[in-house]
């Protein structure tokens, strides 16, 4: 097993007033040649947007984009005609494919919204753009699949052999994660609390990339523990 730490304090950071953002991988003005991607995982942004503020209409293409609100609500509009509000407890995926434009704004005029936006390189280029949003039930002390490559399965689906899982765990509760494909990597980020992951003690927003493993063990070290797992191909038809 090989591990690479992505500690919270080493992330890129920018505070634009209306947007307080942290970047695990190079993004916008944060450029770190050693932190460009983890296999097919290209972007993990931790965004806090002020009330009534947001990202105006902008384009994307050939990227699978996942948004996970952690607190508050996010208003989405796009060139496919979708207009919706994504709330904490829901997950959204957008396949940019041949090209789309969209905007994202805080749907609340009194409190901020905190969400992860995650970009995954697709396994098919120039697909027809698509949008999907689902509410996710996360029973305590259970790991729940929220994204997969399989339409009709738990969570939303994307054009990549990638699996996202989230879970809320009490102190001293643990689980083992078995990777679905040989050669895949597993990116694990502590959303809240503290976890032991593959022998590393990780705190809030710390992450680790794990390769050359079949199964990885996790243990929550605090009450209110929450974790996000992203399994992705480490090699494929995507930029490096």
Domains and CATH numbers, the chain: 2-232 (2.60.120.10)
Taking the model in full, what pTM does it have?
0.97
Q: What is the reported pLDDT for 151? A: 87
Q: Which two tokens stand for residue 195?
A: 């976890």
Cβ–Cβ under 8 Å, residues 48 and 205: no
Residue 222, burial from CB neighbour count under 10 angstroms (0-12, 13-18, 19+): middle
Query: Tens of pLDDT along the chain (240 residues)?
Result: 999 999 999 999 999 999 999 999 999 999 999 999 999 999 999 999 999 999 999 999 999 999 999 999 999 999 999 999 999 999 999 999 999 999 999 999 999 999 999 999 999 999 999 999 999 988 999 999 999 999 888 899 999 999 999 999 999 999 999 999 999 999 999 999 999 998 999 999 999 999 999 999 999 999 999 999 999 999 987 776
Tokens 């054009």 — which residue?
159
Beta-strand relationship, 41-49 and 100-106: unpaired
Cβ–Cβ under 8 Å, residues 48 and 18: no
| Dihedral sign from CA coordinates of 12, 129, 165, 18 | positive
Can you give the three-state secondary structure of 101-148, one letter per residue?
EEEEEECCCCCCEEEEEEEECCCCCCCCCEEEEEECCCCCCCEEEEEE
Q: What is the reported pLDDT for 238? A: 76
Alpha carbon distance 235, 215 (integer Å) = 19
Alpha carbon distance 209, 80 (integer Å) = 34
Question: How wide is the angle at C-alpha 135 spanned by C-alphas 37 and 66, nearest 5°?
Answer: 20
Q: What is the reported pLDDT for 141? A: 96
> What b/e readout covers 187-202, taking b as 16+ CB neighbours within 10 angstroms?
bbbbbbbbbebbeeeb
Cβ–Cβ under 8 Å, residues 128 and 76: no
Q: What is the reported pLDDT for 240? A: 62
Contacts of 64 (CB under 8 A, 6+ apart): 93, 94, 95, 96, 119, 120, 121, 122, 158, 159, 160, 162
């Amino acid at each position: 097993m090989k591990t690479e730490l992505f500690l919270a304090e080493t992330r890129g950071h920018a505070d634009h007033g209306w947007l307080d953002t942290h970047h695990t991988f190079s993004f916008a003005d944060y450029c770190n040649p050693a932190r460009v991607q983890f296999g097919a995982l290209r972007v993990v942004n931790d965004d806090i947007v002020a009330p009534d503020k947001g990202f105006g209409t902008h384009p994307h293409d050939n990227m699978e984009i996942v948004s996970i609100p952690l607190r508050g609500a996010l208003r989405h509009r796009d060139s496919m005609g979708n207009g919706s509000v994504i709330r904490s407890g829901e997950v959204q995926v957008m396949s940019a494919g041949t090209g789309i434009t969209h905007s994202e704004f805080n749907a609340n005029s009194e409190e901020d919204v905190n969400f992860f936006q995650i970009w995954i390189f697709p396994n098919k280029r120039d697909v027809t753009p698509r949008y999907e949003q689902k509410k996710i039930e996360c029973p305590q002390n259970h790991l729940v699949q929220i994204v997969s490559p399989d339409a009709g399965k738990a969570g939303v689906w994307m054009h990549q052999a990638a699996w996202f899982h989230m879970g809320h765990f009490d102190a001293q509760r643990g689980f083992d994660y078995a990777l679905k494909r040989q050669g895949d990597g597993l990116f694990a980020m502590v959303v809240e609390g503290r976890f032991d992951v593959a022998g590393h003690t990780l705190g809030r927003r710390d992450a680790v990339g794990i390769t050359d493993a079949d199964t990885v063990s996790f243990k929550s070290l605090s009450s209110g523990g929450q974790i996000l797992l992203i399994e992705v191909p480490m090699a494929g038809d995507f930029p490096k």
